[in-house]
Structure 1
Amino acid sequence: MNEELLELEIGAPAHGGHCVARHDGRVVFVRHAVPGERVRARVLDRRSRFWRAEAVEVLRPSPDRVPSVWPEAGPGGVGGGELAHVALPAQRRWKQEVLADTLRRIGGPAVAEDVAALVGAAAPPVEQLPGDEVTGGLGTRTRIELTVDEDGAAGMYRPRSHDVVAVRSIPLAVPAIVDLGLLGPGSRWRRAWHPWARVEAVAPITGEPLVLVDGEPARRPGRRPRGGDVPPRRSVREVVPSAVGELAYRVSGSGFWQVHREAPATLVAAVLDGGRPQPGERVLELYAGAGLLTLPLARSVGETGAVTSVEGAATAVRDARRNLHAHPWAELRTGHVDAAAVTGAGARPDLVVLDPPRTGAGAGVMAAVAGLGPRAVVHVACDPAALARDLRAAREHGYRVTGLRALDLFPHTHHLEAVAVLERG
């Protein structure tokens, strides 16, 4: 079937890594373009309300376009680097514009007014993480996921598909992962996996990288275990500096951890600065994971205070118990986070901290949180649209935005992290 090519004038960025264009009155979401460009784009998907396309030829480039730092994530390639052709400062402006649009369009007038009064703009600037000014945002990811194709080569999926494309490089990965030699036809790791296997590589702050194949640890080919046939590790050690001292964690290799090398310390600082937990206070933490935020919160309130955390993944809670074993005033609960879990968490908290998945907490959870009447709520969000919905729900129950930071935890992608502070007012 012949592919359809369109000449398009590229408009504003949209949530999801696309730019908006129009063709005969129809909205077309275009990947691999930059606002202000004219491109020739290949149509990928036709729906009744919009089409999707990808730019395959640039007829009039934007001054913000640069040679892609990861060509394999370009047109026809893999996902995970959809802004690799955009200069880093322009990427952050792109994300700021998307955040502003979602806060205004989805959050509603009250949320938009709160943010404008707070930062003097529709959204705060997106902050670059330490070190990215030197590396250009490359070599930041301490965790990657791969899928083995039918020929035994490690690759990644094309966007919005189940097609695996073998890759020869992932320049976003930290050097310790690159040095493993997982990629390419000559990889010695091929003997450790099989077609369609899921491969995870983890490079902790301290210690050697860990490779998991279908969730099971795999030894580096050609390397003999030291001290006899010792079972390979299933967890890694992470160390995070903070205002309450060095924080040490053990995290399951397949468990969730922030992927940017500077993200854990940055988020801990943002939450402590925004929530200002004090000795003796009570804290409720939702979607607590392996305890990244639970540990500094417990140290902040001290043994005269209390922290209650709720997390749905049993593996993460087991990690958190290990990480919080010296803080018995932290109660770690396993269970789905919903309105009932919030209202049943015990005494009224002074502070609520939540770090929900990409779908957000939802109106029911936000209403239940507001019903507890905490002095402050700190919301950590990895999706601007979900954040906007949650802020709108909190605003409807008497809480306004009194702090908002946007963090570029995912350079060369459309993703960003936001930390919002809510107080009754």
Structure 2
Amino acid sequence: MTEALPVTAASSRRQPDAELTVGKPAHGGHFVARHEGRVVFVRHALEGERVRVRFTEAEENASFWRADVVEVLEASPQRTVHPWPHADALKAAAAGRTAVGGAEFGHVLLPEQRRLKTVVFQEQLERLAGTERAVSVEPVPGETEDGLGWRTRAAFSVDPAGRLAMHPHRSHEMVPVHEMPLAVPAINRLRLWGIDLTGISRVDAAVGSGAGEPLVLLVPSKGTHPRRAAAVAAAIRDASVAVLEPETGRVQRITGRTWLQESVRGVDYRVTGPGFWQIHRGAPEALVGAVLEGLQPAAGDRVADLYAGAGLFTVPLAHAVGPTGAVLSVEGSAGTVRDARRNLHGQEQAAIVQGRVDAALGRWNEPLDAVLLDPPRTGAGKKVVQQIIARRPRTVGYVSCDPASFARDLGYFRRAGWSLDTLRVFDLYPHTHHMESFARLLPPSA
């Protein structure tokens, strides 16, 4: 979940501000503009606006530059007041600081956010998969009118003064934060920004949909004495607290429990500390419904759930195929695999494998009726796609959090004669440029 942050080039800081006319949206939360013949990817803008920008990456020999809006000279009618001052680029510029990342579309009206995501998704399909397809980005059932309060997981840094902080986009800078409007209320009620976090480098907070209190994971700074983490934990009320070793994934309990209970369609799941789970409070329900409707698993089917996590999809697939069927679950994280084994306890038809997906497919000798992919943002890749095609399943379901990697992988399937059947795109990340999709792919004979 943590992205490496590049150091802003010194030459970028020397470039004077510029006035630009903003063009179309681009993948990644940017809009395209031009400055003296050079492409500039601008954040916190809207199509058609006239803005003043500050360059954040502007190497003379670079093929494109990056910039943030610091003043709007001619505003789009789709612009609105940002719901989170810390992420508001205009307020940040006026205060002489940089906006934190994580809500780069907060200045855009929600319907327009979804239209922009539609444009980007369709452009990626056309450019990378050679597919023209009408797309409709749909809100999750039960979404709030303002698109806030949906994050059940939130990760924070800690600045040198021991304050809760976040990073601006592609920066090592730390900005102290107070409240996070995108997070569910239970995370904000922890009031982590009011605690002295000296000796801690990172704080992760998560809330489960099932019974139990929130879980806070503390990552101590190098050399911090264990007693310091215990002192921080004592200041956190109404939550379980544990220490996370990011290198090993090991979680050491301080108080409460080290896992969360999630509940989806009447089924309970256990997710340990740093284990992956869908972030939006309504995402598990929406995606499980899309997967079951798309794959239509039946009793006796043989199904592979690849990049399976803690078993969000594996559990309902195992129930659907029953004791006469078989489900192969493949996940790379050892801790998450342990969760999957707990969540699939008693389901003898489920084979749970820890390791690389390509290696697991190479060792799996049974035929497959259906395959489900839920890869990380980088996608599945050519080798895995070719392995799946060689198994000749009747259908493939693809859950994706990145339209570019999905479109690239879809292109591999299409060049082998496969077709895109069902496609649904969900707005699981309001006020950001991110989206989630489910696609059903069919082989040439279908």
TM-score clears 0.5: yes
- Gaps spanning 5+ residues in structure 2: where? 1-12, 90-97, 221-228, 241-252
Secondary structure at the counterpart of residue 235 of structure 2 = coil
1:167 aligns with 2:177: yes
* Large movers: runs of 4+ above 3 Å: 215-220, 222-226
- SS where residue 414 of structure 2 aligns? helix
Answer yes or no: is 1:131 the counterpart of 2:135. no
Q: Which residue of 2 aligns with 1:181?
A: 191
1:230–1:345 CA distance, 2 compared to 1 (3 A): same
Shift of 1:194: 2.7
1:19 matched residue in structure 2: 31
Asked if 1:9 corresponds to 2:28, the answer is no
Within 5 Å, which residues of 2 pair with 1:256-405?
A: 256-338=276-358, 340-405=359-424
- Residues 169-198 of structure 1 deviation map (CA, whole Å, 9 limit, x = unaligned): 210000000100112xxx1x32xx434511
The one-letter code sitting in structure 1 at the alignment partner of 2:158 is V
Q: Distance in 2 between matches of 1:220 and 1:38?
A: 50
Between Structure 1 and Structure 2, how many residues are aligned?
400
Could you tell me which residue of structure 2 aligns to residue 236 of structure 1?
Answer: 260
Deviates more, 1:353-362 or 1:389-398: 389-398
Q: Which amino acid aligns with 1:157?
A: H
1:106 aligns to what SS in structure 2? Answer: helix
**Does residue 202 of structure 2 align to residue 210 of structure 1?**
no
Q: Which residue of 1 aligns with 2:243?
A: none
**Cα deviations by residue, 1:395-414 (Å, 9 ceiling, x for unpaired):** 12221101111000000000
Preserved CA contact (<8 Å) 2:47 2:76: yes
Does the CA contact (< 8 Å) of 1:281 and 1:350 recur in 2? Answer: yes
After superposition, the Cα gap between the structure-2 partners of 1:415 and 1:223, relative to the gap in structure 1 and judged at 3 Å, is closer
Structure 2 counterpart of 1:38, from 29, 50, 54: 50
Q: In structure 1, how many angstroms separate the alpha carbons of the residues matched to 2:237 and 2:317?
A: 41
CA distance in 2, matches of 1:162, 1:204: 30
Give the TM-score of the pair, scaled to structure 1.
Answer: 0.90
Letter in 1 for 2:205: A
RMSD of aligned residue pairs (Cα, Å): 1.9
Structure 2 counterpart of 1:79: 101
Partner of 2:163: 153
CA deviation map 1:333-390 (0-9, x unaligned): 000122x432322211100001000000001111111110000000110001000011
Structure 2 CA distance, aligned partners of 1:92 and 1:383? 15
1:23 to 1:230, Cα distance in 2 relative to 1, 3 A: closer
Match of 1:90 in 2: 112
Does the CA-based 8 Å contact 2:53-2:67 persist in structure 1?
Answer: yes
How many angstroms apart in 2 are the aligned matches of 1:408 and 1:230?
36
User: Aligned equivalents of 2:387 and 2:191: distance in 1?
Assistant: 48
Provide the rounded CA distance (Å) in 1 between the counterparts of 2:167 and 2:288.
Answer: 32
* Mapped contact 2:153–2:204 kept (Cα < 8 A): yes
In the other structure, the counterpart of 2:225 is: none
Contact 1:129 1:262 in 2 (8 A): yes
For residues 220 and 354 of structure 1, do their structure 2 counterparts lie closer, same or farther at Cα, with a shift above 3 Å needed? farther
Most deviating of 148-157 and 45-54: 45-54
CA distance in 2, matches of 1:209, 1:37: 42
Counterpart code for 2:259: S
Change (3 A) 1:326 1:220: farther
Q: Matched residues, percent identical?
A: 50
TM-score by length of 2: 0.86
Check the 8 A contact 2:353/2:360 in 1, yes or no: no
CA pair 222-152 structure 1, distance change in 2 beyond 3 A: closer
Give 3-state SS (helix, strand or coil) of 1:405's partner.
Answer: strand
Whether the 8 Å CA contact 2:311–2:344 is kept in 1: the answer is: yes
2:373 counterpart letter in structure 1: L
